Amino acid sequence: MSDKYDLVVIGSGPAGYVAAIKAAQLGLKTACVEQWLDDKDKLQLGGTCLNVGCIPSKALLDSSYKFAEVRDDLSVHGISVKNPKFDVAAMLARKDKIVTQLTGGIAGLFKHNGVTAISGKAKVLFGTKVEVTDAKGNVKELEASNIIIAAGSLPVNIPPAPIDNEYIIDSTGALELTEIPARLGVIGAGVIGLELGSVWRRLGSEVVMLEALDDFLPMMDLQISKEAAKVFKKQGLDIRLGARVTNAEVKDGSVVVTYSSADGEHTETFDKLIVAVGRKPNSEGLFASDSGVTLDERGFIYVNDYCETEAPHVYAVGDIVRGPMLAHKGSEEGVMVVERIMGEQAQMNYDCIPSVIYTHPEIAAVGRTEQELIADGVEYKTGVFPFAASGRALAANDPQGMVKMIAHAETDRILGCHILGASAADLVQQVVIAMEFGSSAEDLALTVFGHPTLSEAVHEAALAVDGHAIHIANRKKR
């Protein structure tokens, strides 16, 4: 006999667990199916983000940054620390403790809200039924009035660099390195590659990043990405663009990598090689042939603006559907779906989803880039304020980067904001809120910001849009 639920959620990452908790809070009998097991074969909630993604990588980023700050930057404050040492094992233990605390927290929230956690691999069947196979091969069937698929994504592997989990590793393996590689190669200079490369560069590795694209961070505003490239170069990251890896093999305890670029073929030898070329939807084997759910050629589930699939009462959210692979995007999609199941007219504003790269300085953005607006023929105006002119940034010895505000030329409505600098991830949220309410650059310019704060740079960038910045010389407007 099948177990019956109002809602079955597949996947317990940020998209899945948030949807499950929200549904239970609204009175739906809810189950969440998760196949992730820890090293003791115990159900592990949290998905990629909490276990091997957002959270553990940020733990390593923060630990490595604090070490680099002690080693390189404290003398300017009059603090002298001679020959600081770094304990990789302690860093990993701290990371694991944080992961355990947060994944255990989700289990507690499930219990508190009445969500049933089910261990096993799910398959969506015809008629909103879900087949679950546990680690021992036992199979049971769940009947659901509604299904939310939040199965997430997986690292992309490439044939020239086969993962062996010892010398050639993916982003998961890069979080478990027990020694600092003398020479580290990274395939891919996107978000994941930059964050992981930054961790090990700070700890002393020579890091070479091989990026197949000719442009650096092409999804970011061009002015920001150009400035970021200069900053990362100063930090010692060797970023080689237009470098297409053709072969990687292990020889005598090292990884020999061959890549081609505009000036020919090259060979480099590394102690470890991280493959960080992106992620793909985790949709393989997830559906019976008659489930009614349609996938595109890349494995993403086809959904409409409200995350409805082509199968009635079956929804999909997060990394497994169109749009940026961002935990917060999936979480909000999950909430939207649950509210729509309950009869509300909820919707997502996909124009106001922030994105962040947690390097130092951080890179954060929301809305349109300048190059996108040019391509679409939209008339716009910009305001830029450098952190070098910020009293708070200078006092903190963190003056790198800038805030760039973009507004519509006629209506003054904010179209985008792009930040390179300390605390960019938090600063951009101010603009996200403003954009959500349809604010103009003038609205931000007329808002009182505390002094001295980093957020004053957002205020000044908004003022600069119309040539009214106070703490820099304004560009003459045409």
Are 344 and 357 in the same domain? no
Predicted TM-score (pTM) of the model is 0.96
Tally of domains within the chain: 3
Residue 218 lies in a domain: yes
Q: What span, in angstroms and rounded, lies between the C-alpha atoms of 323 and 15?
A: 14
Q: How confident is the model at residue 477 (pLDDT cuts 50, 70, 90)?
A: low
451 is catalytic: yes
pLDDT of 449: 98
Are 424 and 303 in the same domain? no
Are 91 and 7 in the same domain? yes
**Mean pLDDT computed over 314-340:** 98
DSSP string, 199-226: HHHHTT-EEEEEESSSSSSTTS-HHHHH
Residues 6+ apart with CB under 8 A from 90: none
Q: First and final CA of the chain: distance in angstroms?
A: 74
Q: What span, in angstroms and rounded, lies between the C-alpha atoms of 182 and 165?
A: 18
What range defines the domain where residue 15 resides?
3-155+280-348
Q: Is residue 478 pLDDT above 90, yes or no?
A: no
Residue-wise pLDDT for 70-83, tens only, equals 999 999 999 999 99
Residue 392 lies in a domain: yes
Average pLDDT of the chain? 97
Of residues 313, 360, 408, 451, which has the active-site annotation? 451
pLDDT of 411: 98
**Mean pLDDT computed over 37-44:** 92
Q: What span, in angstroms and rounded, lies between the C-alpha atoms of 416 and 462?
A: 11
Beta strand 264-270 with 254-261 is antiparallel
Residue-wise pLDDT for 132-166, tens only, equals 999 999 999 999 999 999 999 999 999 999 999 99
Domain boundary among 324, 348, 372: 348
Residue 370 lies in a domain: yes
Are 183 and 231 in the same domain? yes
Q: What span, in angstroms and rounded, lies between the C-alpha atoms of 22 and 211?
A: 40
pLDDT of 1: 57
Domain boundary among 348, 368, 403: 348
Question: Tokens at residue 108, please?
Answer: 């507690």
Sign of the torsion angle spanned by Cα atoms 70, 205, 47, 425? positive
Are 37 and 126 in the same domain? yes
Domain boundary among 317, 333, 348: 348
Are 284 and 312 in the same domain? yes
Residue whose token pair is 């699939």: 309
Are 251 and 313 in the same domain? no
pLDDT of 39: 86
**Mean pLDDT computed over 363-389:** 98
Are 128 and 267 in the same domain? no
Are 176 and 114 in the same domain? no
